Amino acid sequence: MKDKKLFASLMLLFATLSWGFAYPIQTMSASLLGSYTIVFFKGIGGLLLLFVIIKRQLKISKDVLIKGLLIGSVSFVGCILQQRGMELSTVSKASFITALYIVIVPIIELFLGKKVARKIWYAIAIALLGLYLLCFSSSFVLQIGDALLLMCSIMFAIQIILIDRFTKKHDPLLINFVSQITVALLSSIIMIFYEKPSMILLKQAIYPILYITLLAGVLATTIQAKYQKVLGSSLSSLIMSLESVFGAIGGWLILNQTLSVSEIIGCILLFISILLAE
């Protein structure tokens, strides 16, 4: 049993590492591809799930279709905000601000009538202090990139709440399939009209595209779905919270991005708030 949990922990850690290093890779891809093109490839992995659905002979009901479309639409907006935010901010900031959805989820649930534990209020206070040091260290104005990332975190928090509610009655695989296809369709429509990526640029960005679509997309998501059940929600959340740390490390190693002392303290405080909220 211990060996099984150890293996599951390592697999989930690998998935978290993949998500973290996707931040600098998406930033690198932005120099060749537009925001909607990158988001399109993040969603296109849903097509690969189609083969699993056909093999298992699963049927998509009208209710699943509507709920999958809703989750996919929210995810699409969140992904676009995240991509644009990363282009206007740094990878380190993006990874930590995005991860705030863990703190934002209980705040939204509070308005939905759910009680919030006292530790969540402590997490919120620490997160606000961390955000101040991370985003307002050089000026008292919230930069547009940081604001977009904060809105992205809110959208991802809404997505998590919707997934939690909808998958209680429906197959998560079908919900995930419809939502990913929705992301791909919405981004492809805007991509064709506004970005029109050429084959030359797509060939130049083939490795980042494969990483975003297959490794950080389909493979990491599949690992999460399979091994999160083995570890339980508490340990899984603790491991997955390291995504923000891996994102910052990736920004430093791949893009040579650095942070000031106050920004580093802000990142540490945000990470503490995320751990506390979990």
Per-residue pLDDT band for 229 (boundaries 50, 70, 90) equals: low
Question: Distance (Å, rounded) from C-alpha 158 to C-alpha 106?
Answer: 10
Per-residue pLDDT band for 50 (boundaries 50, 70, 90) equals: low
| Residues 78 and 155: beta-carbon distance below 8 Å | yes
pLDDT tens-digit series, residues 73-128: 998 999 899 888 888 888 878 888 888 887 888 888 888 877 777 887 888 888 88
Give start and end residues of each alpha helix (H) in the chain. 2-29, 35-43, 46-55, 62-88, 91-98, 101-111, 118-135, 144-166, 172-190, 199-204, 206-210, 220-231, 233-240, 243-255, 261-277
22-31, 236-245, 265-274: least confidently modelled range: 236-245
Q: Residue 208: pLDDT above 90? A: no
Sign, Cα dihedral of 115, 243, 94, 257: positive
Quick one: how far is CA 250 from the chain centroid?
15
pLDDT tens-digit series, residues 8-19: 888 888 988 998
Residue 53 is predicted with a pLDDT of 65
**43-47, 147-151, 258-262: which has the highest mean pLDDT?**
147-151
Question: Distance (Å, rounded) from C-alpha 148 to C-alpha 155?
Answer: 11
Sign, Cα dihedral of 86, 91, 96, 102: positive
**Mean pLDDT along residues 244-266:** 83
**76-80, 93-97, 200-204, 242-246: which has the highest mean pLDDT?**
76-80
Long-range Cβ contacts of 115-120 (<8 Å, 24+ apart)? 119/276, 119/277, 120/276, 120/277
Q: Residue 139: pLDDT above 70? A: no
| Residues 102 and 242: beta-carbon distance below 8 Å | no
Name the residue ranges covered by the structural domains of the chain.
Answer: 2-277
Question: Distance (Å, rounded) from C-alpha 47 to C-alpha 30?
Answer: 23
Q: Residue 70: pLDDT above 90? A: yes
CA angle 212, 216, 220 (to 5 degrees): 155
| Residues 16 and 242: beta-carbon distance below 8 Å | yes
